Chain A
Amino acid sequence: MADDGGVGDGLDRTPAAPADVCVVGSGPAGALVAHRLAARGADVVILEAGPRFEFSQRREQQERHIRPGMGDPWEMGGQRDEYSTGGRHYPLNAARVKGVGGSTLHWQGMVMRLHERDFEMATRYDVGEDWPLTYDDLRPYYAAAERELGVAGAIDNPYAPPRDDPFPLSAFPPSYSDSLFAEACERLGIDMHSVPNARNSEPYDGRASCQGYGTCRPVCPSGAKYTAESHVEKAESAGARVIDHAPVQRLEHDDEGDAVDAAVYATPDGTEHRQSAQRFVVACGGVENARLLLLSESEEYPDGLANSSGAVGRFFMDHLFAGAGGRLDERTRQNHVGFITSECHQFYDDEDPVEGLKLEFLNYAGPSPVIEALHAETWGDELLDQLRGSYGTHIAMGGLVEQLPDADNRVTLDPSRTDDHGNPVPHIEWSLSDRTERAIRRANEIQHAILEELDASIEWTVGPDATGPAYHQMGTTRMGADPGRSVVDADCRTHDLSNLWVVGSSVFPTGGAMNPTLTIAALSLRASESLADSL
């Protein structure tokens, strides 16, 4: 009987023989690296803190999402996931998932490239920090990432950065409500265009095409929405081994502090195991990347592993949501599908304010009748009347606004609270500056102009007070050319330790206002090359 670490499934959770590469975390950042390296013949082990969620359970998980009282379909919360916050509350456990596939299990799946200017905000506008690479450096990796994730898109966006190839899948056609917006936008001189979606508009890569379940976030029962489970499975087919329920507690380095020797992980029965490897890749997401380095402090690295710059945990950023909505005196046909089909990137490169901003035309404004019915305090004909009154004419816009890096926004360890293995929990200090608030107001202004042109009665606005994060944790292990000011180099390798890479949006020096995961994927593909070359 294998030592399953107390999980009860009989699967072996003892360490593998010393591996070529040990990847910590199986979200898209780690899964893509693991797959690329395993495909090139490297011996790869993936350590994943969360469980493997079987695909056969997806429809029951969907029911859990729709029906109240059934808990989070991805089981986030509890002592394992404890955290504390300072400043504005950051709802961390709504903003990530622990499991094979990581937060892409729950994500929405909008995937766009950053713009050229995002890589050089300091040079152009004297704000933020330049990246140690340019859009052109990343361009071929963006194209490869779009093929890996299976992006459905069209070349109708005049504001998108230059690209060489069409998208691998054709775009989802615009929605009926997009057509209502289109007339108003045309009168205002505002351009609408398609949205690149990591979602199958036709069968792709062994996954089904979209069936219109409408619950993309948090559960896609058809498999049409990309999740990093795809690349974990491909890595496994290429020989990689995955150990789930295996949170890494700390990384241990050699005597000199030049290289990591082992990842120490714990299984649910409390046993600690040491996985050794030639190379280590930290891919735990934007908060846990910093936390794992901080937990791995040593005599050589008293402020945290790979932290001679002092930047680990600092410059925490997210994108801010800005939105507005209301009602029309006609039907708007919302909540058929759970994704959007039109955006506007026209204002993204504006210089006043310089913060990036993108606008979204929602296809899920207002309540869904089934969800409202399950929360209603009546039934029968009265319920039907209530649902008819509340469904049908809602319309809304969303948008993302850039937050520039600020050293005071940061992730530290909270020694007053511990997780299920006795480690200090992450503490997130996060606030918005006046300039971020101004950029949010700018987004609201455009949204209001469009809704007014539509003759909508505006019923709500999410502005600087009500705003919240878009669940894109960035910046806490920033990349840069100067080891005194950054944690990793342009290849995502730490300046301090020669065999340690950190991947994911924690390496972003600035975040732009585009959803981050395509850039995460592109950087992981690029990092895989430097890792492979180093083996």
Chain B
Amino acid sequence: MELTRRDALAALAAAGATVGGGALAGRFDPPRADAGGSGAAGSPSTATPTLSTDLLDLLDALAEVLYPSDVDGRRGFVEEYVLGRTEGRPEYRAGVREAAAQLDAVARDWEGNAYADLAAEDRDRTLRRLGVETADPDPEGPITDRIRFYLVEDLLFAFYASPAGGRLVGIENPIGHPGGIESYQRGPMERDPDDPTGGDSDG
């Protein structure tokens, strides 16, 4: 299945971000937290490790682990979602970046490579070894809980609150998505020949 720009916009709408042209046109900054002292994660005086790759690379690499395997257009979805979503929420953005830097540091420690550069199965293993599967999402908790909150939950929320993610499960208007009041009245649709996994039409 294909994730589209529309799905990212839907995810943004669900997340309450204001989707302005600027939000989607701009780049995430700073692309590398160690590029300078401008970001919360970038100050050498804090205990926060630095991020060795573009944040988007890390999030996309993580999304590859978190999302079902036959999803296309993932990078664009993540890019637009992350860019739009953290617009106007500087504290949240700092939290995402900090959690990403921590995950990256763990990867370098354990696997000897930047998280985004690991093989998918190593990325999956790193998360599980950290205990992220069973962690309580908590923006103020220990690092595992923060990775769960800012990275894992963020990406899963974006995906399953969008019509594309929902459709894979059989609901084209999932909770959080303003999909109107037609879909609840409709019955299950014929299976879409192009989409062997879905079953319901677009809302």
Contact = CB atoms under 8 A, between A and B. Distances in A.
Interface in A370-386: 370-371, 373-374, 377-381, 383-384
B152 A369 contact: no
Interface in B111-158: 124, 133-134, 136-139, 145, 149, 152-153, 156-157
Q: What does DSSP make chain A's interface, helix, strand, loop or mixed?
A: loop
B119 to A, nearest CB: 14
A67 B187 contact: no
Contacts of B68: 380-381, 383-384
Interface string B173-200: 1111111110111111000000000010
Contacts of B179: 211-212, 336
Contacts of A374: 137, 153, 156-157, 160
B35 interface: no
A224 B181 CA distance: 12
Q: What does DSSP make chain B's interface, helix, strand, loop or mixed?
A: loop
Contact of A67 (B65, B133, B137): B137
A368 B174 contact: yes
A62 interface: yes
A381 B66 CA distance: 8
B85 to A, nearest CB: 10
Interface bin, chain B = 35 or more
Given A368-B174, A369-B169, A374-B153, A69 B181 contact: no
Nearest to A176: B187
B171 interface: yes
A512 to B, nearest CB: 29
A377 B171 CA distance: 21
Given A370-B166, A381-B69, A384-B68, A58 B16 contact: yes
Contact of A380 (B65, B139, B188): B65
Contact of B175 (A59, A66, A69, A387): A66
A384 B168 contact: yes
A175 B17 CA distance: 30
Contacts of A381: 68-69
Interface string A45-72: 0000000000001111011001111100
A370 B174 contact: yes
B174 A175 contact: no
Contact of A176 (B134, B145, B184): B184
A63 B17 CA distance: 11
A363 interface: yes
Q: How large is the interface on A (under 10, 10 to 19, 20 to 34, 35 or more residues)?
A: 35 or more
A174 interface: yes
B106 interface: no
A173 B14 CA distance: 24
A214 interface: yes
B30 interface: no
A5 to B, nearest CB: 26
Contacts of A379: 65-67, 133, 152, 156
B96 interface: no
B69 A391 contact: no
A214 B152 contact: no
Interface in B49-81: 65-69
A66 B14 CA distance: 10
A346 interface: no
A380 B69 contact: yes
Interface in A62-96: 62-63, 66-70
Contact of A221 (B16, B69, B166): B16
Interface in A137-175: 172-175
B31 interface: no
B185 A391 contact: no
Given A67-B137, A391-B171, A370 B153 contact: no
A213 B176 contact: yes
A222 to B, nearest CB: 7
B39 interface: no
A336 B167 CA distance: 12
A210 interface: yes
A213 B175 contact: yes
A62 B176 contact: yes
Nearest to A341: B184
B161 interface: yes
Contact of A369 (B137, B153, B166, B181): B166
Nearest to A214: B175
B121 to A, nearest CB: 11
B40 interface: no
B153 A69 contact: yes
Contact of A211 (B65, B156, B178): B178
Contacts of B138: 69
A369 B165 CA distance: 9
Contact of B173 (A212, A331, A377): A212
Contacts of B69: 380-381
B15 interface: yes
B183 A212 contact: yes
Contact of B169 (A179, A201, A338, A392): A392
Contact of A175 (B14, B124, B157, B185): B185
Contacts of A176: 184-187
A132 B32 CA distance: 72
A69 B139 contact: yes
Contacts of A221: 16, 178
A391 B149 CA distance: 24
**4 residue pairs, one from A and one from B, having the closest CB atoms:** A59-B16, A336-B184, A69-B137, A211-B178
Given A212-B203, A370-B161, 12 more contacts: A63-B176, A69-B153, A176-B187, A211-B179, A212-B180, A330-B188, A331-B199, A333-B186, A337-B181, A378-B133, A387-B169, A388-B169
Interface of A: 57-60, 62-63, 66-70, 172-176, 179, 201, 210-215, 221-222, 330-331, 333, 335-338, 341, 363, 368-371, 373-374, 377-381, 383-384, 387-388, 391-392
13 contacts: A57-B16, A59-B13, A62-B14, A62-B176, A66-B161, A69-B138, A333-B184, A370-B175, A379-B65, A379-B156, A380-B67, A380-B69, A383-B156
